[in-house]
Amino acid sequence: MQAEPIVSAQGQCLSGPLLLTPQRFGDDRGWFFESWNQRRFDAAVGEPVAFVQDNHSRSSQGVLRGLHYQLPAAPQAKLVRASVGRILDVVVDLRASSASFGQWAGVELSAESQQQLWVPEGFAHGFLTLSDVAEVQYKTRGYWSRDQERAIRWDDPALAISWPLETLGSATVSLSEKDAQAPTLSDAQAAGEVFP
């Protein structure tokens, strides 16, 4: 497994998130790769990680989920991959003490590349479905908490995330009601709903 840090749209290396590329073995019959190996993952992120929940979603083209996170009282880290189709996966640094606070980075994850994105606590996470359909699977460190879950607006002008909307063809962005009503990062920070 190869692990590499990701760089924000502002050109700064984000401390924490990693793009993980598994070693794939293939021939004319097909391919094989390890989608999960505890020892290799712990070595890549530099700490032992105990996952407590696996999630699986299916989305049509144009569905945008996020930007989600859980407050520091019950934070949640994620290991994300697309097992069907393609998505643009985005992280936003919500650690107020970080030099990259408010910066974002996006990586395309696909069933073809088999790459995974490690999203540690302290980051908001979301994705846009680029293909006709995508299935996204992710492991979480920390259980989902209705009381601690929060979201940041996907189109917050201060973040200026470059969602590739031009690739959607006739599809339009489709949001949940909760995501459509999410506050901006500055509103979340003013409410004390970011990480220290």
Contact between residue 94 and residue 15 where contact means Cβ atoms under 8 Å apart? no
Query: Before 67, cis peptide (omega within 30)?
Result: yes
What's CA 55's distance to the chain center, in Å? Answer: 13
DSSP H stretches of helix in 13-89: 38-45
Whole-angstrom distance, CA of residue 69 vs CA of residue 151 = 6
Given 56, 69, 125, 138, the catalytic residue:
138
Give the distance between the most distant pair of CA atoms in the chain: 56
Residue 139, strand partner residues: 54, 79
What stretch of H or E contains 31? strand 30-33
Which residue, among 57, 122, 64, 121, has the nearest Cα to 89 in the 3D structure? 64
Residue 134, strand partner residues: 59
Given 56, 68, 125, 143, the catalytic residue:
68
For β-strands 30-33 and 13-21, DSSP reports them as: unpaired
- 69 is a catalytic site residue: no
Please list the active-site residues.
68, 138
